[in-house]
Amino acid sequence: MSRLNVPTPEEVPAGAQRILDNVGAQLGFVPNMFKTIASNPTVLEVVTSLQATLSRVLDAKTRHSIALAVSQANGCSYCLAMHTHVATEFSGMPRDDIELGRIGSSVDPRRAAAARFAQRVVDSRGQVSDAELAAVRGAGYTDPQILAIVALAVQFLLTNFIKNVNQTDLDIPAVGPVDTAVAQ
Q: What is the largest CA-CA distance in the chain?
A: 53
User: Is 96 domain-assigned?
Assistant: yes
Q: Is the pLDDT of residue 182 over 70?
A: no
38 and 125 inside one domain: no
CB of 152 closer than 8 Å to CB of 63: yes
Domain of 157, CATH number, reads 1.20.1290.10
Is pTM, for the whole model, over 0.75? yes
pLDDT score, position 184 = 47
Domain limits at 22?
14-54
More confident residue, 180 or 156: 156
| All residues at 6 or more sequence positions from 178 whose CB lies less than 8 Å from its CB, including other chains | 72, 99, 102, 103
84 and 158 inside one domain: yes
Query: Total structural domains in the chain?
Result: 2
Average pLDDT over every residue of 44-52:
97
pLDDT digits (tens, 9 = 90+) for 92-137: 999 999 999 999 999 999 999 999 999 999 999 999 999 999 999 9
Q: Is the pLDDT of residue 66 over 90?
A: yes
The number of angstroms, rounded, from the C-alpha of 22 to the middle of its chain's C-alpha atoms is 19
pLDDT digits (tens, 9 = 90+) for 15-39: 899 999 999 999 999 999 999 999 9
49 and 69 inside one domain: no
User: Is 7 domain-assigned?
Assistant: no
